[in-house]
Amino acid sequence: MPGAEASAGAFRRRDKARIVPAGQMALNALGLSPHIPMNVVCLTDGAARKITLGKRKIIFKKTAPKNLAVIGKISSLAIQAMKEIGKDNITDNETFVILNHLAKEEPYRLKHDIKLAPEYY
């Protein structure tokens, strides 16, 4: 059986929808959380739906186009992770980890995506 991430990618291709991992999935992907979420939450401009894969679920939540306008994969995860943590809860260590990941992003993608990021500092 394919993993939740591979299944979400297949639905993205089939529906020609944009998908961004959100919440705990974004935190885990950046190494900010050791927990692998049982329910994968993705923001999408496609249809909102829930898909069950064994004991795991993929939850597609309809969102505003602004949340899907990012063009960088790393910056997309970073923005969603920061939203999940919250402005008042982000620590210096989490900021350091996010900045280290963003250093790997292509500069033109960062320049585009910085306008869409939450203002924390």
Question: What amino acid occupies position 93?
Answer: N
Residue 36 belongs to domain spanning: 4-116
In a domain, 72, yes or no: yes
Instruction: Reply yes or no on whether the pLDDT at 6 is more than 90.
Output: no
Q: What is d(CA 112, CA 121) in angstroms, rounded to the nearest whole number?
A: 18
Q: Which residue has 């597609």 as its token pair?
A: 60
Q: What is d(CA 103, CA 68) in angstroms, rounded to the nearest whole number?
A: 21
In a domain, 40, yes or no: yes
CB 80 within 8 A of CB 20: yes
In a domain, 58, yes or no: yes
8-state DSSP, 3: -
In a domain, 121, yes or no: no
Count up the domains in the chain and report the number.
Answer: 1
Higher pLDDT, 18 or 4: 18
- pTM score of the predicted model: 0.86
pLDDT, mean of residues 56-76? 92
Instruction: Reply yes or no on whether the pLDDT at 1 is more than 70.
Output: no
- pLDDT, residue 94, reads 95
- pLDDT, residue 33, reads 92
In a domain, 108, yes or no: yes
In a domain, 78, yes or no: yes
In a domain, 36, yes or no: yes
